[in-house]
Structure 1
Amino acid sequence: MKPIPGLSLRRQLLWWLLAPQLILWLMGGVLAYRVALSYAEKALDASLSQSVRSLARQVKPLGSGLLVDFPKAAQAIIEQDPTDRVAYMVSSPPGSFFLGNLTLPAPPTGLDIPDNTPVFYDQALDGKVLRVALMELNYGTPPADQRMRVQVAKSLAAKEVLARELVRDVLIPLLALGTVLSVLVYGGIRRGLAPLQRLEAQLAHRSTAALQPIELTEAPQEVHSLATALNELLGSLRRSLTQEKRFLNDAAHQLRTPLAGLISQSELALQETDPQALRARLQKVHTGAQRSAHLVGQLLALARTEGAIERTPVDVAALAREVAREFARKAVQGQVDLGWEGDDAVHAAASRLLLREALSNLIDNALRYAGAGSTVTVTTRRDGAWCVLGVEDNGPGLRDDQMSHVFERFWRASELPGGCGLGLAIVAEIAQRHGGQAQVRGVSPHGLRVELRLPLLEGQGILNRVPSSPTDTRAAARHSNQP
């Protein structure tokens, strides 16, 4: 059933619970009235049957004639109801008035009239409907045998009065019970909806600054389910607000310094008259603008990792080769040997966009800090139920006391220009969002390896590996990375 527009839940419940009750009460009243009429008719027929038999006994055959013995006592038996006059008639032959207090019409045509057995029918007389009992019997001896008809009629007023009394005696108690039931239903609805009112009160007094979970310890299971769904929604909203606040704080904190530098350098450039000095100032403005753009890009990437992600099957090995080719020109310009090696196909359920972002950050960090003449290797492999995506370099690496800080936001181990301390934090966040983890370790004799461990695509399992030759793979990768 569809809800009724514009009505509160309480009124709708009252409507759907009390309206059927009222309909059933009315149907019960009609049915009770019909049943009462049936029983009243049976009682009236029994009374008429008794009366017609009593009247027939007062007319006795005598030879070929009739002897009427109709004392006052017999007449009182027939006319025993003082509120409803009884009409009676004896005719012999049938239809010829012999005895009675009213001439009654003949029965309907086609009525089957057995001997010595009363039959009943309704007939109109002087604008009133009467219930008539009729009995015919034979008297006399052949060949002078004759037939006598006895009729007793009574109006239907008594039947209707009896039916109304029966209906009243049945429906009034039912109405009282229905009233009590309605009060109980109303009280039950109020009590049942009380948890929703408490829930409404909790939500009404809740601000966006305090999105704590809703607590309903005593409530029906349906309300608990609603509260659970609302708690999940509040949790999602709380996380979104926290992420938005953190993003704004990070952006405000990190952009303040480079923007201030841009303003100061541009002001100084406006005051310069020497072309060489002006060029130097503009170069600093350009470098600051690049750093700000990089910072904004990293902040936006970090914000993307904190939202909901949609996972699809991704060939991580193919993606790693593709991203490595994109960085080939930068590697050549920085005099870094960039290559790929590992399993040819490793599939994971992941967001292709976020994996590309993570891999780009790893390769960019390695190219930036490994230094000229170094080697950077991108690897993909399976490790049990994990897909391992790693970037390794033989640069200066990090000290042991710095390893625990590499995934912290805005932490930097080097003062080289261009970085903002968010690349590895983004990698760690992406790994966590995929149900995996990011790891870092040193490489002997020097260097650094950062790995992104993701769950393998379900059903892939541990497959038979045909490892590629590292030398051949690196040669192919290096060849494909030539500008």
Structure 2
Amino acid sequence: MRRSSLSTRLYRRVLVLLALTGLAMGAVLYSVASKEIGRASDAQLVNASRLLYMMMQDELTAGVLAARGKGLSTASDPLLSSEEKRAFHASYDWCMFAVFWEGQPVAQSGWGAPLDLIPRQPGLHDFSAVGERWRSYGLPGHDARLLVVVAERDAMREFSVVPVLRKLALPLLLLIAVAMGVLWLTLRKSLSEVERLASSLNARSLADLTPLAPENWSRDLGPLITALNKLFARLEQAYELEQAFTDDVAHELRTPLAAIRTQAQLLARTAPASLPEEVNRLLSTVRRANDLVDGMLTLARLNATAVSARSVDVHDLVAHVVADAVVNLPADAIEFTVLPDHVVRWQCDPASLQIALSAVIDNAVRHARAGGCIDIAIVRTFDHLVITIGDRGGGVAPEDRERLLRRFERGASTSSGSGLGLSIAVKAMTLARGTIRLEDRQDGPGLLVVLTLPAAD
């Protein structure tokens, strides 16, 4: 299952918070807009009732209502003429109105809620009629018997809110979209330092336990930097203890092994002619034990090796390793060829590469046939350096190649060896950020060991 990144998880959580905040802001805006539109609508009802009252001033002054009395027809002596009604509807076409004298209707708009459902008290009121909610305002006249009522549907108020919300929705959505983008960039920028820390740690070798400088990192990473430095200190102490233990063990083992080898050599000189095979087997066992101790010591020291890349003449380095190997061989025992025969420079750690080359060449010498040849080729490309070491031995079966790169694994050859040579090369190449693999030679029998180093970052 693919895990999401820390920035993605944080972004999702903050995005949910941002969405909830946006919804809350929308709800607040809706509430505020509704209240403001409600106040404005109430003010319009008041203005509409005052306009009606002003239109009826001439009739009221003439005493039409007072002279009419109850039960008189509203068709005679109307309070509002047709022109006045049209003028009112031109300004307030969504409002209905009704005029009451002593609680009885004397004028009305002719549409809207039934008159018997309209509140007949001064002030603002809510009521239901014909399946809808209404809002009304009653304006009392100078004569307490007169009441002018103007009403409108609540749906008209909601309809008035919609344009406001539409105007607010687009800026709000744009604001949320911009906030989402800024949030993502901010998170990526903030977490880039974590990525820089990861890159810095990945670029280190296994033996580089130099403490991180807290001043080079933000204060938020302070606890992590402190914890890493404490871990580095404990690892360094553990490496030092391991190194000391390995050195002590190697020293303690070398002394008795040297004594055994000396005694075996004396025995070979003085033993009867019937024992040479047993003595040679003893000497071979002592040499293998000594090689094993040296290999274990080399592996342990590799863990504490500080890796530092610099420009190296790889051809010269290979020549020195070959020269060291030839010194311990009989004259004309093995022929070495190194191609090309000129300077090949590469950015790498020379100590790790030298250890790997020494281990591989020593392994090739052990398994090359007598009078054989070891061919070394250095190939430099744009982004890789490849060194191949080929011998003329019996080679290695494909199914055994991965196994022989592990510790204490030996091939089918009867040649002496500790089983640590190739594992030492693997360890050294890992420290140098390189790889090692085993292949068949293409020009005949034998094993081809391929060392690959990438270009420095």
Which band: TM-score by shorter chain? 0.3 to 0.5
Structure number, greater radius of gyration: 1
